[in-house]
Amino acid sequence: MEKQTMNLTRFLIEEQRKYPSASGIFTELFSEIALAAKIISREVNKAGLVDILGYTGSKNVTGDEVKKLDIFANNTLKHILCRGGNAIGLASEEEEDVVQCESGKYLVVFDPLDGSSNIDVNVSIGTIFGIYNKMDDFVDKKQFRRPGRELVAAGYIIYGSSTMFVYSTGTGVHGFTLDPSVGEFILSHKNIRIPEKGKIFSINMGNYKKWDKNLQDYIDYITEEDKETKRPYSLRYIGSLVADFHRNLLYGGIFLYPADKKNPSGKLRLLYEAQPLAYIVEQAGGYASDGKTPILDKIPSEIHERTPLFIGSKENVKELEKFLNR
């Protein structure tokens, strides 16, 4: 019974007692994100009924235009966070500019629904978020020009075979699974540690011809047979960052989204995709790099900046860095 009743809020309150630096407002902010996650999860689970119920782009029963799921997720987070009184400002993948809210101590960055190409085919998608202390009540882009090391918390929600909320406030990484029957996130993965080294690599192999020679050499190396170093590694790629990251966090391995001839800075976004996940992976004992620099040391010059991303088990990412910096 004890196990079934340790929900996210209770866990946060107990953590707060252990670490008094985590304020009560912080717990409130997390409850707001969890509420948004439950609402998004409900809508994601209905996505398959779009044609039957006449969703996207059509009108719902009250005559409102029904938005695409990624816009819906963005609006849900924006409204809940901005009305909560804890977030003074937001930066989102779905907002061109920063969002100014009325009051609060924190800045929240997020990708409301990542993996959009997987929404319509019943494949896992996710929400990613990061939290900073505000620097000023006036929220402009400059406030987001700071290294990921300044994050005070980060997390993600994966909408998969079940919905999971994974987060860190700097004291380890913890995972909660949504029990839909009671509508609560219940502690299911306490103190997640990523294996030092894993056997999984995740990358879009279709781009192989567009990569640098050093990266091609690395991929050739890890797909060669060698019993002693447990090669070849296994390829697993979903095409949803949160889902690929989550699997590798639990099993060990490396996720790669490199720069290539077409995208010189890669595809993924530094502020609200790479840095929150880098924060989580470091808290779990792993590592994230752009090939040269730790992701958490990078400073976004603009909110939608892209970065190459190599993230996962420490030994795997270090091994890759050696190839890239030859």
Q: Quick check: 151 and 168 in contact, CB under 8 A?
A: no
**Is residue 196 flagged as an active site residue?**
no
**Is residue 70 flagged as an active site residue?**
yes
- 173 φ, ψ to 5°? -115, 130
Query: Could you tell which of ligand AHM, Mg ion, none binds residue 32, using a CB distance below 5 to 8 A set by kind?
Result: none
Q: H helices of 190-307, where? A: 213-222, 241-251, 275-283
Give the footprint of ligand AHM on residues 127-186 (CB under 6 A).
Answer: none
- CA atoms of 75 and 233, how far apart (whole Å): 40
Give the footprint of ligand AHM on residues 201-240 (CB under 6 A).
Answer: 204, 239-240
Residue of 93, 184, 244, 282 marked catalytic: 93
Q: Does 260 bind ligand AHM (CB under 6 A)?
A: no
Question: In the bound complex, what is the minimum distance in angstroms from residue 84's beta carbon to ligand AHM?
Answer: 25
**Is residue 113 flagged as an active site residue?**
yes
Q: How many CB atoms lie within 10 A of CB 174?
A: 22
**Is residue 114 flagged as an active site residue?**
yes
Q: Which position among 99, 109, 154, 241 is part of the footprint of ligand AHM (CB under 6 A)? A: 241
Question: In the bound complex, what is the minimum distance in angstroms from residue 112's beta carbon to ligand AHM?
Answer: 10
**Is residue 111 flagged as an active site residue?**
yes
Q: Report residue 118 as tokens.
A: 């997987």
**Is residue 273 flagged as an active site residue?**
yes
Residue of 12, 107, 111, 290 marked catalytic: 111
Q: Which position among 84, 104, 115, 308 is part of the footprint of ligand AHM (CB under 6 A)? A: 115
> Considering only 53-61, 109-117, 188-196, 279-287, which stretch makes contact with ligand AHM by CB under 6 A?
109-117
**Is residue 212 flagged as an active site residue?**
no
Q: Report residue 201 as tokens.
A: 């690599």
The sign one gets for the Cα dihedral 189, 191, 192, 197 is negative
Q: How many residues bind ligand AHM (CB under 6 A)?
A: 9
- CA atoms of 222 and 199, how far apart (whole Å): 9
Query: Could you tell which of Mg ion, ligand AHM, none binds residue 240, using a CB distance below 5 to 8 A set by kind?
Result: ligand AHM
- CA atoms of 197 and 113, how far apart (whole Å): 29
Q: Report residue 238 as tokens.
A: 């979903």
Q: Does 114 bind Mg ion (CB under 5 A)?
A: yes
Name the residue with tokens 């530094």.
Answer: 270
Q: How many CB atoms lie within 10 A of CB 15?
A: 16
Mapped onto helix, strand or coil, the DSSP state of residue 162 is coil
Q: How many residues bind Mg ion (CB under 5 A)?
A: 2
Instruction: Give the Å distances, CA to CA, from 39 to 34, 36, 75, 180.
Output: 9, 5, 11, 11
Q: Which position among 56, 75, 116, 188 is part of the footprint of ligand AHM (CB under 6 A)? A: 116
Q: Which position among 70, 111, 244, 282 is part of the footprint of Mg ion (CB under 5 A)? A: 111
Find the helix or strand (DSSP H, E) in which 126 lies: strand 125-133
Q: In the complex, which residues of this chain contact Mg ion (CB under 5 A)?
A: 111, 114
Q: In the complex, which residues of this chain contact ligand AHM (CB under 6 A)?
A: 114-116, 204, 239-241, 257, 267
Instruction: Give catalytic residues, as residue numbers.
Output: 64, 70, 93-94, 111, 113-114, 273
